[in-house]
Copies of this chain bind each other. A is one copy, B any other.
Amino acid sequence: MDITIIYGKNAVIEALECGEREFNKILISNNSRADVKIEQIKKLAQKLGVVYQFVAKEKLNALEPEGRHQGVIAQTSPIKYTDLEDFIEKYKGEQASVVILDGVEDSHNVGAIIRSCVCAGIKGIIIPSRRGVLINSTVEKTSAGAANHISIIKTNSLVSAIQKLKDNDYWVIASDHHAEHNHYEIDYTDMNFALIMGAEHAGISKSLLKLADFKVKIPMLTNFNSLNVSNATAIILFEYVSQLCKKNKRKDKNG
C-alpha cells in the first residue's frame, strides 16, 4: 500500500477510530509512556491489531523535523479522496453543505479549516488537484484528525465541480471583500450551500466568482488588510451554526 506518516496525538487517535485507514506501524517516544492520550492510542491499536513500538525521541524527530509530533508518529495509508458524484449520491436528500478552497496554499490554514468544517457539520471539502495544498501530514496534524471525518473531494476543475453542485440544487456563496452583503445577512439554514473561500493573497478567481449566487463579506472595524483565511471560514460557518441553533430553539418553543 501507499504509505504516509501522520503525527500528533489527536491526528493518530482519529485516524485509528475512523476505521478507514490501514496502519503499518505506530512509533511512540520512550518519553511519552505516561500520557493519557498515548494510553488511548495503545488501547485502540491493541483492539485493532495495529503494531506499535517504543522508540527514542530522536527517531521521531528524524521523521518529523519540525518537532510537532507530540511523541507519536503513525505510518498509515493516505486519506482517501472522494469523487464529487459519489458524494452527491451519498447525501441525496440530506443536509450536506460543502466548503470549496480555491487554491489555499498554507497547510496550517487547510488543516484548521477542515477542523472548523467538521465542528460545523459541513460534509465535504473540495480542493483543486493542481493548485493549493493537498492533504499532507501537516494538514492532518493541524486538523487534529478531523480530516478523517469529512469527505475530501479533489477535482481537476473547480468550475465544473461548482456547475455540478448547482445542477444538484446547491446554492453557491463566495466570500469576497468587495461584496455588498454582510455574511450575517444571508439565511444559511434552508439550503445546501457551497461556500467558496479564496487563496491567501489572490482571493477567489474571477471564473468562480461569476458562478456565485451570493457574495458575502465579513465587516471589519478597522481598515487593516484582511483576516486569515481559516479564521474567515470559521466566522462564516459559525454564523450558519448560530442561525441553525437559534432556529431550532424557536421551533422547540413553538412546539
Residues of A within 8 A of B (CB): 10, 108, 112, 115-116, 118-121, 142, 144, 146, 149, 182-184, 218-222, 224-228, 230-232, 234-235, 238-239, 241-242, 244-246
Contacts and interface: CB of A to CB of B under 8 A. Distances in A.
A149 B220 CA distance: 14
Contact of A241 (B112, B142, B220, B234): B220
Contacts of A239: 242
A202 B47 CA distance: 28
A10 B118 CA distance: 31
Contacts of A182: 242, 245
Given A118-B224, A226-B119, A219 B241 contact: yes
A121 B222 contact: yes
A224 to B, nearest CB: 5
A121 B120 CA distance: 26
A118 B223 CA distance: 9
A149 B224 contact: yes
28 contacts: A10-B225, A112-B228, A112-B231, A115-B224, A115-B227, A116-B227, A118-B222, A119-B220, A119-B222, A119-B224, A120-B220, A121-B220, A121-B222, A144-B226, A144-B228, A146-B224, A183-B242, A184-B242, A184-B246, A221-B241, A228-B234, A230-B230, A231-B231, A231-B234, A232-B234, A234-B234, A234-B235, A235-B235
